[in-house]
Structure 1
Amino acid sequence: MKLFLAALVCFSALVQIQALRWSAWFDRDNPSGSGDWETLADQNKIRAVCPLSSPIAAECRVRGSSAIFTMTSGSAPNVLAHRCSPSVGLVCKNSDQRGSMCSDYEIRYLCPSPLSVWSRWFDRDDASGTGDWENLSEQLKLGAVCPFGAKPLGAECRERGTNNVFTEFSGNPPDKLRMRCTSAGLICRNSDQPGGRMCRDYEIRYSCPANSAGPRPVGPIGGGPNNNFGPVPI
């Protein structure tokens, strides 16, 4: 009995991870008054930025720009009273600027998600046609990717046969991707690749909510034909 309980604890530790996700971009203020106050406290009054958790990082940019900066990296075009802090947000005061107003900023937060489980790795397509279409909508036609049909929280991708994992926000995919490893899947089109070459063959796995409700799936642990979830080797 003790061995069984120990094995159960180890199993739980294997399948539970702390998933991370970026919030939407928030732009609740503009600099027409005293400045641009994109504070976490004010945004939370509108709706929770990170439900049931606190942000662990933040990214900021001038609205309409792709030049991102954080609390410790990148360049902001203004003097900031609070520089893109995950605990405070961003504050730019017009009174701190020399001869100009603040730019209009937006901010997003990196949020811990509830405990989750990884699905098995999926590879439903290859690049022999128009490309490698590992998108969620097509995979769902073959069966649920998350327990009880829950919506994925995120994803990890890799070229088949390698351990070089990348996500929507990190890592380096070897091809130009139309859809870069999101909770909606991955799409690589041959027509987007330079030199007329084809896409690699990719596989994807999904981060799934561990507290979904509904009937339990039937099948062997570890990603058998009737069970797409469980502790699967990376």
Structure 2
Amino acid sequence: MTPTEELSFQMWVSLDPSECRTRWFDHDDPTRNGDYEVLSDLQKIHPGEICQQPIAIEVQTVSGEPASNTSDAFLNYDATYGFACANADQGSRSCEDYRVRFTCPKEFCQVSDQCRTRWLNGDNPSEEGDVESILQLLKTFPGQVCRNPISIEAQTASGISAKHTGDTFLSYDVTFGFACINGRQKSKQCEDYQVILTCPSDFCQGCRTRWFDLDDPTRRGDYETLLRVQTLYPSQVCSQPVAVEAMTVSGVPAHQTGDVFQVYDAARGFACVNAEQPGGNRCQDYKVRFTCPLAFCSV
């Protein structure tokens, strides 16, 4: 298993499928004042890996012995603060070296079955045409493109859907990607296209933020935009996410709701407008989560 795969796998671990547990964290050593595994410190060191308000904490030595089986006295041991063992409280000896794991609300571990990239524009039609192949996108946008997309959507750089341009396409599928050849067009010139990919959920599992629910669809719609998340929670989301997931607050993936989305990409976030829904329906209440470059989780 590569380091990247290991990080992706260890974002959370649960022995009980009904629970949502983080991996084990060992930030401190008892070499000085003691061993302090403080929740607020761990959240800063490992953004996105621990929920804001854990509901339980487990503590054990780095060798796997439950803290309750040791003879140490603990200064703090709760899900709100974290864990603290002070050497001064142990008499003539030092604390053991401890690690902690948190249990989070179930929604922190909810996984959508797919996520969407940002709009990608790796070519222009100045020569033979506009070719946005999966292979070339993987090279041009490393870390931002999945190898096995579920679906692909194309539009012009100005936002017009490919199906409304009048161009004919040599390829428009998830196996190759998208290709428009100038010589095949009546005008002998393709539009400049960009594509967005829908990827399997495993593409989203590297460095994910928590779920954000900043708006309700009671007025114009539900706007869970990246800019708004960055404004309200600047330290909890990266500046350039590589993927976004959206689901209703009850856990239904966005693509299964039947709603029409005005915005749904990693660069802008998510927006569902009530006036654009079929049958006069109102948007569902959504939450979003972003996948960031791995470097964001290692700061």
Name the counterpart of 1:49. Answer: 140
Name the counterpart of 1:179. Answer: 263
Tell me the CA shift for residue 211 of structure 1.
0.8
CA gap 1:102/1:84 in 2 versus in 1, 3 angstroms:
farther
1:141 to 219, 231, 235: 231
Deviation by residue 1:10-56 (Cα, 9 ceiling, x = unmatched): 6652339xx974521622435xxxxx25568xxx8xxx733489984
SS in 2 for 1:139: helix
Name the counterpart of 1:118. Answer: 208
Name the counterpart of 2:86. Answer: none
Tell me whether 1:26 sits opposite 2:116 in the alignment: no
Percent identity between the two aligned chains: 20
Q: More relative contact order in 1 or in 2 (CA 8 Å, sep 6+)?
A: 1
SS in 1 for 2:230: helix
CA gap 1:108/1:173 in 2 versus in 1, 3 angstroms:
same
Deviation by residue 1:109-168 (Cα, 9 ceiling, x = unmatched): 789999941111111221123221211222223213646x44322200011212x424xx
Cα root mean square deviation, aligned: 4.9
| Inter-partner Cα distance in structure 2 for 1:127 and 1:66 | 26
Scaled by the length of structure 2, the TM-score of the pair is 0.42
Name the counterpart of 2:109. Answer: none
CA gap 1:27/1:156 in 2 versus in 1, 3 angstroms:
same
Where structure 2 has 5 or more consecutive residues not aligned to the other structure, the ranges are 13-114
Scaled by the length of structure 1, the TM-score of the pair is 0.51
Where structure 1 has 5 or more consecutive residues not aligned to the other structure, the ranges are 1-8, 31-35, 69-75, 216-234
Tell me whether 1:152 sits opposite 2:241 in the alignment: yes
Amino acid in structure 2 at the alignment position of 1:29: S
Q: Is the 8 A contact 2:155 2:194 kept in 1?
A: no
Amino acid in structure 2 at the alignment position of 1:199: C
| Inter-partner Cα distance in structure 1 for 2:211 and 2:146 | 29
Q: Tell which structure's C-alpha radius of gyration is larger.
A: 2
Q: Is the 8 A contact 1:179 1:186 kept in 2?
A: yes
Name the counterpart of 2:219. Answer: 129
Tell me whether 1:212 sits opposite 2:212 in the alignment: no
Amino acid in structure 2 at the alignment position of 1:49: T
CA gap 1:145/1:153 in 2 versus in 1, 3 angstroms:
farther
How many corresponding residue pairs?
A: 179
| Inter-partner Cα distance in structure 2 for 1:24 and 1:59 | 12
| Inter-partner Cα distance in structure 1 for 2:283 and 2:129 | 44
